[in-house]
C-alpha cells in the first residue's frame, strides 16, 4: 500500500513536504540579484533599521561564535563582521548558492574577510557538532522553514549552554488601521513591484502569502516557549509589522 506523503503550506497553497525546500530555493534563485534592491524599495529602507536593532539585541561580544542562519545576501553577517575579533567567527549558512555568492561578494567589498565562513546547507539539518555557537540569528528566514519544530531542535543542539536564539520575522500589525493599510500595500503593490523590478510577480506573491500565514508574534512566542528553549520573549517593531524574538539554551 502506498503511503500518502504529508503536505505543508506554501503560501496559500499546499505542497508535498519533500518539494517545499526546492520550491523555496527556486524562488530565491529567481529574485537573488534584485533581492537587496527590492528589500529597500518594499520597506522604504526601514529593513535596515530592523536589522540594526536585531544585531543590537544580540549584545555581540568580540569573541562570539555566531551562526547567521538562512543568511540570504548577508545583511546580518556584514553587520556582525564589524563586531568580532580574531577569537570570534561567523558562519553564514543558506540553502541557496546564488544568495551565498552575493553574500560573500558583499562581505569582501566591505573589507572584511577574516573569520567568516560560508556554508550551503539545509538549515533543518545543521552540519555542526553540539555546543558550538554562542548565538544563532535568523533574519526573515524562519517562516520559510518546512519543519519548524525540527529546526528549533537542530538550533538548540548547536548552541552552547547559555547561548541564545534570535529571530527577526514579519508579524501581525497591532492596530486595525495599520493592518488594513499593510494588507492593501502587501497584496496589491508588492507583487506588482516585484514584477516590474525583478520580473517575478509570483515570487513576491508567495512572499506576501508566506507573511500572511506566518504565526503571530504571540503564537511564535508560544511555540518557542513550548520548545527546549527558555525565557522566550519578543519586542514589536514598527507597530508589530515585524517582531524580534529571543530565547536561551540553559
- Cross-strand bridge partners of residue 167: 138, 245
CA distance 156 to 78: 24
Cell of 244: 524580534
Q: Report residue 94: phi and psi, to 5°.
A: -150, 155
Total length of the chain: 250
User: Among 236, 228, 92, 125, which residue's Cα sits nearest to residue 171?
Assistant: 236
Query: Which segments are annotated as binding site for S-adenosyl-L-methionine?
Result: 73, 94, 122-123, 139
| CB distance 227 to 215 below 8 Å | no
Query: Which segments are annotated as binding site?
Result: 73, 94, 122-123, 139
Amino acid at each position: 500500500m502506498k503511503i500518502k506523503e504529508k503536505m505543508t503550506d506554501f503560501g496559500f497553497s499546499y505542497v508535498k513536504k519533500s518539494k517545499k525546500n526546492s520550491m523555496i530555493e527556486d524562488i530565491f534563485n529567481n529574485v537573488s540579484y534584485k533581492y537587496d534592491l527590492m528589500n529597500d524599495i518594499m520597506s522604504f529602507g526601514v529593513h535596515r533599521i530592523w536589522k540594526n536593532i536585531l544585531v543590537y539585541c544580540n549584545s555581540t561580544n568580540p569573541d562570539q561564535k555566531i551562526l547567521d542562519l538562512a543568511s540570504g545576501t548577508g545583511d546580518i553577517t556584514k553587520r556582525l563582521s564589524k563586531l568580532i575579533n580574531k577569537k570570534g567567527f561567523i558562519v553564514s549558512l543558506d540553502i541557496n548558492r546564488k544568495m551565498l555568492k552575493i553574500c560573500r561578494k558583499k562581505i569582501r567589498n566591505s573589507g572584511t574577510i577574516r573569520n567568516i565562513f560560508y556554508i550551503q546547507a539545509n538549515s533543518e539539518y545543521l552540519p555542526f557538532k553540539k555546543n558550538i555557537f554562542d548565538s544563532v540569528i535568523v533574519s526573515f528566514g524562519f517562516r520559510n522553514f518546512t519543519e519548524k519544530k525540527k529546526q528549533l531542535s537542530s538550533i538548540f543542539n548547536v548552541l552552547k549552554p547559555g547561548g541564545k536564539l534570535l529571530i527577526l520575522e514579519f508579524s501581525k500589525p497591532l492596530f486595525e488601521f495599520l493592518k488594513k493599510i499593510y494588507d492593501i500595500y502587501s497584496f496589491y503593490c508588492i507583487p506588482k513591484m516585484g514584477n516590474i523590478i525583478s520580473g517575478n510577480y509570483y515570487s513576491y506573491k508567495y512572499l506576501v502569502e508566506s507573511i500572511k500565514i506566518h504565526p503571530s508574534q504571540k503564537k511564535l512566542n508560544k511555540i518557542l516557549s513550548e520548545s527546549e528553549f527558555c525565557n522566550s520573549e519578543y519586542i514589536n517593531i514598527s507597530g508589530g509589522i515585524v517582531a524580534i524574538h529571543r530565547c536561551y539554551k540553559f
